[in-house]
Amino acid sequence: MKKPKAIKTPPTKEELANRLENVKELMEKEGLDFFVCFDPVNIYYLTNFAFYVHERPFILIIDNERLLKMVAPLLEAAHIRDRAVAELELIEYNEFPAPEGKNWYHKYQKILANNAKIGIEPSMPMEIFQKTPGKKIVSEILEEVRLIKSEYEIGRLVHASKIVSRGHKKILQLCKPDAAEFALYQEATSAMTSKIIMDIPNANFKATETTAAVWPPSISHEPHLVPNIFAKMEEGGPHVSIVQARVDGYGAEVERTFFLNSVPDKARKPFEIIMNARNLAYELLKSGMMMSEIDKKVKSLLNKNGYGDYILHRTGHGFGVTSHEAPYLAEGYDRILEPNMVVSIEPGIYIPGIGGFRHSDTVLITEDEYIKLTKAPEALEELTLKRN
């Protein structure tokens, strides 16, 4: 199968109606009368409206007639009407803190029936929970529906993947010994941002972020220690890059292990082994496979080669309206891979005194294969950059 075409346009009303349809189906199955969303990401998924949470709550409700209602601050009404694509009834309230009787929860509680079964998100905060009437049932319906991507979402993820591939290309072009972290960050994120606004002039910057960083060899064994902005690139390697973006609401990432001018001898074996682990992950990456099993087998290969102590994370995670979400290719995540899931493949090892080793790509699962959506060199030779 060929890589699907990139899509750069906002979702249609039909696309959002289909997402809602999938949620409604699961609501039937779980016997829920209402479903309440508070998580901005879920609200974005269902409406195309993005916002930050301050003291004024935005709450999206699928009511017992299966219609969308949004309880939102008065001052955001124009913003919601501008961006929301879904059919929804807007119920505005006076700003919180508000005079007695005019607060958000008075309007919120009016929508929900007292004896109803109310589905709520695992992330629902206590202060919303406490104001929610009815029999509340924590439910992962939204997480569930978001696992499988529509044709439209795949098109957006293809586009997001192109953007991060472009940012990554910039990093490999410019990286040299003594280059400053901050300069690489600036160049790569600018390259992504200008392409985003070229492709999507009306991109929603509340749903857009770009990030790029390189861990030079002296710290690449610590993948979660964010490099200092004045960190400098070094001779040799392994350097480990991260380029990630949420592009007008859709996420992707690409990461590489690379070397400047030369490859230290002690780095050759771990590079080879992590490539074997990665190849194994791709061999196993088939619709129908148990995701926990893929992770287990990849880790077992690393273990057998003596690198078990240097594993810090799982083999992969999902993408969608964020660049980091379910599903997880992880021990304990006993779930089958399905067509139209999009995941990262990124086994990694982190060896003090040698460095970190990890490639990551954004990958689409199809009926009978997979398609890498991101593009960057993969082999040691191509990733040994000559910079003299």
Residues near its own copies (CB under 8 A) are 54-55, 74-76, 78-79, 82, 95-100, 103, 120-127, 129-130, 138, 182, 197, 201-206, 222-226, 228-230, 292, 312-314, 317, 324-326, 328, 330-333
d(CA 249, CA 9): 11
How buried is 142 (Cβ within 10 angstroms: 0-12 exposed, 13-18 middle, 19+ buried)?
A: buried
Our CB check for its own copies shows the closer of 165 and 315 to be 315
Our CB check for its own copies shows the closer of 21 and 129 to be 129
* Six token digits for residue 194: 């200008």
Residues whose CB is less than 8 angstroms from the CB of residue 232 and which lie 6 or more positions away in sequence, other chains included: 177, 178, 179, 180, 181, 216
Our CB check for its own copies shows the closer of 30 and 95 to be 95
CB of 151 to its own copies, least distance (A): 26
CB of 230 to its own copies, least distance (A): 6
CB of 83 to its own copies, least distance (A): 9
d(CA 221, CA 352): 6
- Looking at the DSSP bridge assignments, the partners of residue 328 are 317
CB of 313 to its own copies, least distance (A): 5
CB of 121 to its own copies, least distance (A): 7
How buried is 246 (Cβ within 10 angstroms: 0-12 exposed, 13-18 middle, 19+ buried)?
A: buried
Our CB check for its own copies shows the closer of 55 and 65 to be 55
Our CB check for its own copies shows the closer of 183 and 385 to be 183
d(CA 53, CA 206): 11
Our CB check for its own copies shows the closer of 1 and 312 to be 312
Our CB check for its own copies shows the closer of 260 and 319 to be 319
* Six token digits for residue 49: 């409206």
CB of 78 to its own copies, least distance (A): 4
How far is the first Cα of the chain from the last one, in angstroms, to the nearest whole number?
A: 41
Q: What is the largest CA-CA distance in the chain?
A: 73
Residues whose CB is less than 8 angstroms from the CB of residue 130 and which lie 6 or more positions away in sequence, other chains included: none
Residue 147 CA, chain-centre distance (Å), reads: 11
CB of 334 to its own copies, least distance (A): 9
For 87, other C-beta atoms within 10 Å of its C-beta total: 12
Our CB check for its own copies shows the closer of 211 and 261 to be 211
d(CA 128, CA 370): 41
CB of 4 to its own copies, least distance (A): 27
Residue type, 38: F
Handedness of CA 358, 363, 367, 368 (dihedral sign): negative
Backbone angles phi, psi at 317, to 5 degrees: -140, 170
Q: Which among 59, 112, 128, 113 is positioned nearest to 88, based on CA atoms?
A: 59
Our CB check for its own copies shows the closer of 194 and 262 to be 194
* Six token digits for residue 163: 């953007």
Our CB check for its own copies shows the closer of 36 and 154 to be 36
How buried is 62 (Cβ within 10 angstroms: 0-12 exposed, 13-18 middle, 19+ buried)?
A: buried
CB of 213 to its own copies, least distance (A): 9
CB of 265 to its own copies, least distance (A): 26
Q: How many CA atoms lie within 13 A of 36 on its CB side?
A: 29
